[in-house]
Chains A and B, each alone.
Chain A
Amino acid sequence: MERRVKISYVINLLGVLAVFLLFVLLFESRIFGAATQYIKGICTTACYTIIMVASLNLVVGCMGEFSLGHAGFVSVGAYASAIVSGALTGKGLPDLALFLIALLAGGIAAGITGVLVGIPALRLRGDYLAIVTVAFAEIIRVCFCNFSITGGGKTMSGILKLSDFYWCYWIMAACVAVMYLYIRSRFGRTVKAIREDYIAASAAGINVTYYKVLTFTVAAFFAGVGGGIYAHYMTAMIPTNFNFMYSAELLSEVIIGGIGSLTGSIIGAAFLSSLPEMMRQFSQYRMLAYSVVLIIVMIFKPGGIFGNWEFSLVRILHRAEKKGHEKAEGGVQPWKQLERKSRY
């Protein structure tokens, strides 16, 4: 591995750690007083929403296809992880291990569902794919309504409350990091090539179906992990929670944030999921406001607020360093100017 890459990993890790320490400082110093627990809860909500929205962005942004059934995968992850954690309770496992195993189980179950749904569905594109993903999500919901292990259409309650904000923060950071690396990897570039022109991509020897199903599965896996956190935060759920509206909500968060921008997804999801908590009395206007914002964004900035721009700590540091150098050396050196010109 190049030294530069290693350094950027360290810088990003430090950045994530700094944000984490900031949260710890805020919560442990009891600045919010009695509301600490409540605000921690909102932050946990933001964590799992970020994972779900970012994973949907893999499909919408990276693959350029339209999935309206993401809530289906979320529900598979939520139920699978709840069942696993319920079965493993009292086996002497520490809470964190139990939580991680449950999340992994939820993710794998959702990933398998992703393969099963993706293989037939991804033969279609555009409008028809969107409708078929809705259909699959509805079928999943009907199944959960009829299986006795998932409560048979009634509320499934008594799930352990394992979703602690500090754990969820690191899980969220890890999930987003893996998704970011996936987009930047060989696989992600291939999928982007398919998005730009699938006929040209397949003519260039790319196995279009394989890469599409792979991306869909990765997205489903992370949606499942997000669902697992959701289940262990809410501690009770009913299949109708994961209806078409929930999918539409996730999708609108992706699009408002920015199609293809994980930064946009993170900011969008964190902001939009905590906003309604902050102004509860307006909760019935939430979806109304979402839809109006969505239409306005579509008309004036079709790529979403952040477009495909990504926040980069390394780039900012690099720029600051350069500026510092320039100041110290008294203006731009001639050879640096040359370097800039040679780029064009």
Chain B
Amino acid sequence: MTFSLFIQSLINGLNQGAIYALIALGYTMVYGIIRMINFAHGDFIMIGSYTLFYTIPLMINAGMPPWLSVFLAIVICAGTGVVVEVVAYKPVRKAGAMSALITALAMSLFLENLAMVLFGAKPRNIQKIFDLPSVSVFGTSLPLNVVLTIGIGIFMMAALQLFIKRTRMGKAMRAVPQDRDASILAGINVNKVITVTFAIGSGLAAVAALMYCAKYPRVTNDMGSMMGLKAFIAAVLGGIGVIPGAMLGGILVGLIEIFVKLFAPGWYEAITYAILIIILLVKPSGILGKNAGEKV
């Protein structure tokens, strides 16, 4: 392998990883607060991408930069997230973990198939979002896209971390998973906290959709499911519920995928899943997570 190929793959891996990291941030937010795998999270990205697909031409016609439509996507995704939470997840919250998981899965199927009925199964191509030049580093071209994606990822991570650690709402968010009943006694409106969590998590999905579409400008109705699963793997790898862990896990998964693809193109997916299995069996709390004992 030549040096330039190595650098090129490194850049590709970082780009892929930064996208996974952005999605994983949303997963880890939701899982950290309500301990539920939100299977529908990947589909929020699909919703965000369709929003971008339909609003970018409007933005261009109005003479504004196309990336501004991400704000509309954030609003739509956050709105969908809140609706999904209130309509489907809230009624089953008391019924136990199994019901919650099934409902999340059903919601994911619902959104995917609804999108197929509404927008058709044909892939749509999104117009170019960023028109950024490439700079030359070590003899290979480094697209500024990559730098931007990673930058947004780090910014989001830092902002979330500050929000969770420094604000009142963030404090409530940390209290709810520790002891739900005690936090009700302390005057926390648990339902509101969970709804806000969903809104933030889904909004993050819209940002991830923007970066994803900047790299792969294709929208399909089932784009979310496998990508969501891989982002979940990233979140688990870094330590689920730990915000910097999602970033680390995402970038690691992206790098591993790109480098395995280089040597064994047909097997890269299998390797990603194998990593998940090994991590869960050896250190289920992830790289940055703390081990939590089980109460009997």
* A contact set with B: CB distance below 8 Å: 64, 66, 68, 120-121, 123-124, 126-128, 130-132, 134-136, 138-139, 142-143, 145-146, 153, 199, 244, 248, 251-252, 255, 284-285, 287-288, 290-292, 294-295, 298-299, 302
The reply to whether the CB of B88 lies closer than 8 angstroms to some CB of chain A is yes
Highest count of chain B CB atoms <10 Å: which of A127, A146, A252, A290: A127
Min CB–CB distance B226 → chain A (angstroms): 7
Are A298 and B99 in contact, with the CB atoms below 8 A?
A: yes
Min CB–CB distance A214 → chain B (angstroms): 20
Nearest first, the 4 A-B pairs at minimum CB distance are: A291-B110, A135-B273, A294-B106, A291-B109
Which residue of B106, B277, B296 contacts A135 across the interface (Cβ within 8 Å)? Answer: B277
Min CB–CB distance B105 → chain A (angstroms): 6
Which residue of A131, A136, A255 contacts B236 across the interface (Cβ within 8 Å)? Answer: A131
Which residue of B92, B226, B277 contacts A244 across the interface (Cβ within 8 Å)? Answer: B226
**Chain A residues with Cβ under 8 A from B36's Cβ?**
127
Are A292 and B280 in contact, with the CB atoms below 8 A?
A: no
Task: Give the number of residues in B that approach A within 8 Å (Cβ atoms).
Answer: 42
Nearest B residue (CB) for A304: B102
The 8 A CB mask of B102-119 against A (1 = contact, 0 = none) is: 110111011011101100
- Please measure, in the bound complex, the distance between the C-alpha atom of A295 and the C-alpha atom of B274, giving whole angstroms: 31
Are B101 and A127 in contact, with the CB atoms below 8 A?
A: yes
- Please measure, in the bound complex, the distance between the C-alpha atom of A275 and the C-alpha atom of B37, giving whole angstroms: 31
The 8 A CB mask of B80-110 against A (1 = contact, 0 = none) is: 0000000010011001111101110111011
Are B37 and A252 in contact, with the CB atoms below 8 A?
A: no
Given known A-B contacts A127-B37, A142-B269, A146-B267, A66 and B98 have beta carbons under 8 A apart: yes
- Please measure, in the bound complex, the distance between the C-alpha atom of A299 and the C-alpha atom of B94, giving whole angstroms: 10
Min CB–CB distance B268 → chain A (angstroms): 9
Are A132 and B107 in contact, with the CB atoms below 8 A?
A: no
Which residue of A121, A134, A142, A295 contacts B266 across the interface (Cβ within 8 Å)? Answer: A142
Given known A-B contacts A134-B229, A146-B266, A288-B114, A139 and B273 have beta carbons under 8 A apart: yes
Which residue of B107, B114, B280 contacts A295 across the interface (Cβ within 8 Å)? Answer: B107
Highest count of chain B CB atoms <10 Å: which of A255, A285, A302: A302
Nearest A residue (CB) for B35: A127
B1-51 interface (Cβ within 8 A of A): 35-37
Highest count of chain B CB atoms <10 Å: which of A130, A136, A255, A291: A291
Min CB–CB distance A300 → chain B (angstroms): 9
Highest count of chain B CB atoms <10 Å: which of A66, A135, A153, A284: A135
Are B266 and A252 in contact, with the CB atoms below 8 A?
A: no
Min CB–CB distance B118 → chain A (angstroms): 10
Min CB–CB distance B192 → chain A (angstroms): 21
Are B117 and A285 in contact, with the CB atoms below 8 A?
A: yes
- Please measure, in the bound complex, the distance between the C-alpha atom of A252 and the C-alpha atom of B105, giving whole angstroms: 9
Are B117 and A284 in contact, with the CB atoms below 8 A?
A: yes
Which residue of B92, B97, B109 contacts A287 across the interface (Cβ within 8 Å)? Answer: B109
**Chain B residues with Cβ under 8 A from A294's Cβ?**
102-103, 105-106, 109
Are B99 and A295 in contact, with the CB atoms below 8 A?
A: no
Are A295 and B269 in contact, with the CB atoms below 8 A?
A: no
What's the A-B contact tally at a CB cutoff of 8 Å? Answer: 115
Nearest A residue (CB) for B94: A302
**Chain B residues with Cβ under 8 A from A136's Cβ?**
273, 277
Are A251 and B91 in contact, with the CB atoms below 8 A?
A: no
Are A131 and B105 in contact, with the CB atoms below 8 A?
A: no
Are A302 and B99 in contact, with the CB atoms below 8 A?
A: yes
**Chain B residues with Cβ under 8 A from A138's Cβ?**
269-270, 273
Nearest B residue (CB) for A64: B98
Are A130 and B110 in contact, with the CB atoms below 8 A?
A: no
The reply to whether the CB of B186 lies closer than 8 angstroms to some CB of chain A is no
Are A139 and B270 in contact, with the CB atoms below 8 A?
A: yes
Are A132 and B103 in contact, with the CB atoms below 8 A?
A: no
**Chain A residues with Cβ under 8 A from B101's Cβ?**
66, 126-127, 130
Are B88 and A299 in contact, with the CB atoms below 8 A?
A: yes
The reply to whether the CB of B79 lies closer than 8 angstroms to some CB of chain A is no
- Please measure, in the bound complex, the distance between the C-alpha atom of A130 and the C-alpha atom of B108, giving whole angstroms: 15
- Please measure, in the bound complex, the distance between the C-alpha atom of A156 and the C-alpha atom of B251, giving whole angstroms: 37
Min CB–CB distance B145 → chain A (angstroms): 29
Given known A-B contacts A132-B276, A139-B270, A288-B114, A120 and B109 have beta carbons under 8 A apart: no
Which residue of A120, A130, A132, A298 contacts B92 across the interface (Cβ within 8 Å)? Answer: A298
Are A251 and B266 in contact, with the CB atoms below 8 A?
A: no
**Chain B residues with Cβ under 8 A from A131's Cβ?**
37, 229, 232-233, 236, 276, 280
Are A295 and B103 in contact, with the CB atoms below 8 A?
A: yes
Nearest A residue (CB) for B222: A245
Are A302 and B92 in contact, with the CB atoms below 8 A?
A: yes
Are A142 and B276 in contact, with the CB atoms below 8 A?
A: no
- Please measure, in the bound complex, the distance between the C-alpha atom of A123 and the C-alpha atom of B229, giving whole angstroms: 21
Are B102 and A255 in contact, with the CB atoms below 8 A?
A: yes
Instruction: List, sorted by A's number, 29 A–B pairs whose CB atoms are closer than 8 Å.
Output: A68-B105, A120-B277, A120-B281, A124-B281, A126-B98, A127-B37, A128-B236, A128-B284, A131-B37, A131-B280, A136-B273, A136-B277, A251-B102, A251-B105, A252-B109, A284-B116, A288-B116, A288-B117, A291-B109, A291-B110, A292-B110, A294-B102, A294-B103, A294-B106, A298-B95, A298-B102, A299-B91, A299-B103, A302-B95
**Chain A residues with Cβ under 8 A from B233's Cβ?**
131, 135
**Chain B residues with Cβ under 8 A from A123's Cβ?**
281
- Please measure, in the bound complex, the distance between the C-alpha atom of A318 and the C-alpha atom of B37, giving whole angstroms: 47
**Chain A residues with Cβ under 8 A from B117's Cβ?**
284-285, 288
The reply to whether the CB of B195 lies closer than 8 angstroms to some CB of chain A is no
Are A124 and B280 in contact, with the CB atoms below 8 A?
A: yes
**Chain B residues with Cβ under 8 A from A142's Cβ?**
266-267, 269-270
Highest count of chain B CB atoms <10 Å: which of A66, A124, A145, A288: A288
The reply to whether the CB of B202 lies closer than 8 angstroms to some CB of chain A is no
- Please measure, in the bound complex, the distance between the C-alpha atom of A123 and the C-alpha atom of B284, giving whole angstroms: 11
